[in-house]
């Protein structure tokens, strides 16, 4: 497969498509990023809410006047927040959910565009009697969804924490500063997803290269109990088909956010930006192209923060795109800061 180069030999490192997907598509990282946990939370479904002939999975704990609702990056489920949600739940009610066809949620007739995800979540919160006000927290695609939810239901949302949020013009802007490399990366990601879907249909074999490249070592990261549950779901063809469908809906999601884009007024807003480039070669300086990409990524986030009179952007050292995996304490701190502004 042709490999566009951003930073020298980075392109030849293991699981290159997963690394690209962090930036270009928002998919979760599939490998050991931090110390594993043996906690069994998120290892089985908790509350499956009927939203009209199908069920959406919610997991909530804690109590408080404001409910924090977490939305995951593309292709990932609520368990991506397993290092963050329990800590936030010590201070208020904290809920994670799985978008349609992901985690423990039933599939839907339509893919998870931002608009569809927002309406699903809105219905699930109503049915489950989880009343506003909400503080929405989203990573990557989940950040795009959180923004759209806020525009559609402004009376319900009292604060936002956005981790590396996807925005309506992100792909075009990053593609421009990299001379078309993002388009090439997207093509590689689509090819990788198709290969993983084909492998899932045949059945992944333990220890196989396909399992390593597509799913990674889930137990090493999530812990043996939770990791086994994650791996069981992510080795199924239905998971890969839903990931592909969600990925193919990105343009629609971007258009939905673009159509309603406006200022957030005085809404408390904190945008977290990665301090580690997914494309950087460890121990080596950034290439000019890589630096341009990272600078533009930070600029986009600064602009999002500036849409609120109470908006702030913060660089998170030691974290790449999936900040909740590598620097969960920084995410917890950000959520509690915004929660304090609300309360």
Q: pLDDT tens-digit profile of 179-199?
A: 999 999 999 999 999 999 999
Peptide bond connecting 251 to the previous residue in cis, omega within 30 degrees of 0: no
pLDDT number for residue 286: 80
Query: Cα dihedral sign for 332, 333, 336, 341?
Result: negative
What is the pLDDT tens value at each position of the chain, 343 positions in all? 233 334 332 222 223 334 343 333 333 333 333 333 446 788 999 999 999 999 999 999 999 999 999 999 999 999 999 999 999 999 999 999 999 999 999 999 998 999 999 999 999 999 999 999 999 999 999 999 999 999 999 999 999 999 999 999 999 999 999 999 999 999 999 999 999 999 999 999 888 999 999 999 999 999 999 999 999 999 999 999 999 999 999 999 999 999 999 999 999 999 999 999 988 788 888 888 899 999 999 999 999 999 999 999 999 999 999 999 999 999 999 999 999 999 8
Burial level of 11, CB count in 10 A (0-12/13-18/19+)? middle
Domain 14-24+39-342 is in which class?
Answer: alpha beta
pLDDT number for residue 39: 67
Residue ranges covered by each domain of the chain: 14-24+39-342
Nearest-CA neighbor of 125 among 105, 96, 102?
96
Q: Are 177 and 143 in contact (CB under 8 A)?
A: no
- For 5, 36, 74, the CA distances from 250, given in Å and listed in that order, are 24, 31, 10
| Distance, CA of 62 to chain centre | 23
For helices 250-260 and 237-248, angle between their N-to-C axes, nearest 10 degrees:
40
Q: Are 193 and 20 in contact (CB under 8 A)?
A: no
Residue 241 to residue 74: CA distance in whole angstroms: 13
Residue 294 to residue 178: CA distance in whole angstroms: 10
Three-state DSSP at 229 gives helix
- For 20, 37, 214, 287, the CA distances from 5, given in Å and listed in that order, are 11, 35, 21, 11
Q: pLDDT tens-digit profile of 196-219?
A: 999 999 999 888 999 999 999 999
């Amino acid at each position: 497969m042709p490999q566009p180069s951003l930073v020298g030999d980075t392109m030849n490192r293991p699981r290159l498509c997963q690394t690209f997907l962090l930036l270009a598509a928002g998919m979760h990282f599939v490998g050991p990023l931090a110390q594993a946990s043996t906690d069994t939370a998120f290892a089985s479904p908790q509350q499956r809410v009927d939203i009209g002939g199908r069920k959406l999975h919610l997991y909530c704990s804690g109590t408080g006047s404001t409910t924090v609702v977490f939305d995951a990056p593309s292709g990932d489920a609520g368990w991506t927040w397993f290092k963050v949600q329990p800590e936030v739940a010590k201070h208020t009610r904290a809920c994670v959910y799985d978008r349609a066809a992901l985690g423990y949620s039933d599939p839907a007739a339509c893919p998870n565009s931002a608009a569809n995800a927002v309406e699903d979540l809105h219905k699930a919160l109503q049915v489950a009697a989880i009343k506003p006000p909400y503080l929405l927290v989203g990573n990557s695609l989940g950040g795009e969804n959180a923004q759209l939810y806020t525009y559609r239901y402004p009376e319900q949302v009292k604060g936002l924490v956005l981790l590396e949020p996807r925005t309506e013009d992100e792909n075009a802007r990053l593609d421009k500063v990299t001379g078309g490399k993002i388009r090439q990366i997207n093509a590689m990601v689509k090819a990788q997803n198709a290969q993983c879907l084909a492998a899932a249909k045949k059945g992944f074999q333990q220890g196989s290269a396909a399992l390593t490249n597509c799913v990674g070592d889930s137990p090493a990261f999530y812990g043996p109990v939770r990791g086994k549950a994650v791996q069981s779901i992510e080795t199924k063809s239905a998971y890969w088909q839903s990931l592909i469908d969600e990925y193919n809906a990105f343009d629609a999601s971007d258009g939905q956010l673009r159509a309603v884009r406006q200022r957030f007024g005085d809404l408390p807003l904190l945008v977290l930006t990665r301090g580690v480039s997914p494309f950087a070669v460890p121990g080596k300086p950034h290439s000019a192209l890589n630096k341009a990409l990272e600078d533009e990524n930070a600029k986009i986030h600064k602009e999002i923060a500036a849409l609120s009179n109470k908006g702030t952007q913060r660089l998170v050292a030691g974290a790449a795109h999936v900040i909740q995996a590598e620097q969960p304490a920084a995410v917890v701190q950000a959520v509690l800061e915004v929660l304090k502004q609300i309360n």
